[in-house]
Amino acid sequence: MTTDSTSKNRRPNILLIMSDDLGYEAIGCNGGTSYATPRLDALAESGMRFENAHVMPLCTPTRVALMTGKYNFRNYIGFGLIAPEEVTFGHLMSDAGYKTCISGKWQLYSYNPPDEHPEMRNKGQKIEDAGFDEFCVWHPHHTEDKGSRYKDPIIYQNGEFLNDMDGKYGDDIFADYITDFAERNQDDPWFVYWPMALTHRPLEPTPDSPEFAEFQPPSNKTLGGKTWDELENWPDDAKFYKDMVEYHDKLIGRVVDRLEDLGQRENTLIVYLGDNGSPVEVCSMMHHHTEVCGGKGMTKDRGTHVPLICNWPSTIPASVVQTDLIDNCDHLPTILEAAGVPVPEGYVVDGRSFLPQLKGDEGDPRDWLFFHFEPMSGRVQRPAQRFIRDHRWKLYEDGRLFDLSTDPEEEVALLDEEDTAASRETRRRLEPIFAQMVR
Task: State the total domains in the chain.
Answer: 1
pLDDT above 70 (res 378): no
Q: pLDDT above 70 covers what percent of the chain?
A: 92
- 401 CB neighbour count, 10 Å cutoff: 22
Report if residue 332 sits inside a domain. Answer: yes
pLDDT per residue as tens digits for the range 283-308: 999 999 999 999 999 999 999 999 99
First to last CA, the chain: 51
Q: pLDDT value at position 119? A: 79
Confidence band of 3 (pLDDT split at 50, 70, 90): very low
Distance CA 249, CA 255 (A): 10
Q: Is the separation of the CB atoms in 186 and 5 below 8 Å?
A: yes
DSSP 228-282: HHHHTTS---TTHHHHHHHHHHHHHHHHHHHHHHTT-GGGEEEEEEESSPPPTT-
Report if residue 375 sits inside a domain. Answer: no
Confidence band of 139 (pLDDT split at 50, 70, 90): very high
Report if residue 371 sits inside a domain. Answer: no
pLDDT above 60 (res 131): yes
Report if residue 118 sits inside a domain. Answer: yes
More confident residue, 35 or 417: 35
List the domain range (segments joined by +) for residue 139.
Answer: 13-366
Report if residue 374 sits inside a domain. Answer: no
pLDDT per residue as tens digits for the range 142-183: 988 899 999 999 999 999 999 999 999 999 999 999 999 999
Which residue from 67, 24, 44 is spatially nearest to 311, judged by alpha carbons? 44
- Tell me the CATH number at 182: 3.40.720.10
pLDDT above 70 (res 235): no
Q: What is the mean pLDDT of residues 405-411?
A: 95
Distance CA 423, CA 414 (A): 8
DSSP 153-206: ---EETTEEPP--TT-BHHHHHHHHHHHHHHHTTTS-EEEEEE--TTPSS----
Report if residue 247 sits inside a domain. Answer: yes
pLDDT above 70 (res 54): yes
pTM: 0.94
Q: Is the separation of the CB atoms in 426 and 388 below 8 Å?
A: no
